[in-house]
Each structure stands twice: as structure tokens, then as C-alpha cells.
Amino acid sequence: MFHAQILTLFPEFFDSPLHCSIPKRAIEDGKVAVDCIQIRDFANNKHHKVDDSPYGGGPGMLMKPEPVVAAIAEARKRQPTTHVVMLTPTGAKFTQQKALEYIKKDSVTLLCGRYEGFDERIVDYVDEELSMGDYVLSGGEPAALSVLDAIIRLLPGVLGSPESAVLDSFTEEGMMDWPHYTRPEEFEGKRVPDVLLSGDHAKIEAWRLNQAKMRSQKRK
């Protein structure tokens, strides 16, 4: 079983997404276990304060190192081989290839930030920094959910058809998926390409590969 841990100030953020569709089935079938660890539980002050103003001035607040590092230590205690990932705009960009790397591990722990980010010293306690792209979110929770969903659907036995994950966009040499069509054959004057109706599997595969290459070149 793959173990995912999420270090967060808002565990409730994940309640609904993990109780529907593919993640729900994966959890119920014992393919993955997801545990949320409340960072605030590790604050060493009366009011469970986890943030403070930055040295040198500036807007916003930063997450303090003490509770975050203590939460990371708890995650490593629960799953000694876990790979701890800090979700931050300054990290390397998340890709499908990265998701494929993660499913080879026994456990991944996703660290969610808030406010203006983390005290820089926390970086020394994680294994990797990861970004979802060149934009800023209100917190790491949406990013963690995206990473978690990408991982779960790749786990063996999770999808109804094993080929679904193999043929996904970006899985093969970073290429996008080809166009897909279903019934009816014609919709508002637009027909399904004749090659897909031909029954010639060699031509269909060649068409799909060509379309995938063209789409990848155009959209990148």
C-alpha cells in the first residue's frame, strides 16, 4: 500500500475531494492510505501560533520553523522511508514524470505552506521543493491535492483500464494526448475523422501519434 501524508493547517480541505471518484475508490480498496497531520498541533506556545513576522520587515507572515520541523519529524516517525516534499513556488515544476517517480516510493509527505511562505531554515528538513507552476496560490493545499491525485491514478489497480494511465498526456516523452471522439459520428456538422471509423488499427495508431505530436508542438 502507498502511504501519503499531508502536513497542513487545514486538514478539512481534503475531506470532500478524498471522498469521491477515483481517490475514494483507491482508499476503500486499500491501494493508498492518506493521513493529514495538523501542523498547529506541534506549536510550542499557549495559543498554538505557527506564524510570525519576517526579520527585516515586509508584508505578511512566515510559518515558524519549530512547529513545521516537529510535524516533519512526526511524519518521518510514522513512515520512516517517506519522501518529504515542500510545496512552494520556488521549487522545481511538477510534471507527470515526477508523479511516476513518486509511485516507486513507499510514502510521500506533502508539506503545505500558508501566509507568505516558510522560514528558509525549514528547507534543510525536507527532501525536495516542488512547484505547480509560475503562479501563487493561497496555500499549499490545492497543490498537494493535485499532486496526490496525479499519484493515486498511477497506482497499480486504481484505474479500471491499466492503459488509461500509460496513455495519458505527458506520460510518453512529455507528449500530450491525441484527440478523442465518441458517438455520435456527427455533431453539429462536425464528423469523427474517417480513419477512426476505418477499423485499420495500424492507420489509427499512426494518426494518433501524428496528432499527439502536432498538438504538443502547437500548445508548447
- Quick check: 175 and 168 in contact, CB under 8 A? no
CATH architecture, domain 175-219: Orthogonal Bundle (1.10)
* pTM of the predicted protein model: 0.86
Which ranges of 29-180 would DSSP assign to H, the alpha helix?
Answer: 65-78, 96-102, 141-152, 162-166
Which H/E stretch holds residue 23? helix 21-28
The reply to whether 116 belongs to the active site is: yes
Choosing from 119, 168, 172, 177, the catalytic residue is 168
Identify the active-site residue in 67, 114, 141, 153.
Answer: 153
CA distance 73 to 82: 11
Cβ–Cβ < 8 Å for 112, 144 = yes
Cell triple for 89 = 513556488
pLDDT in tens, 161-201: 655 555 554 555 568 889 999 999 999 999 999 999 999 99
Residues of the chain with CATH 3.40.1280.10: 2-152
- For 2-152, which CATH class? alpha beta
Instruction: Count CB atoms within 10 A of the CB of residue 58.
Output: 10
Q: Mark whether 184 is an active-site residue.
A: no
Question: For 69-94, how does the pLDDT look when each residue is reduced to its tens digit (9 = 90+)?
Answer: 999 999 999 999 999 999 999 999 99
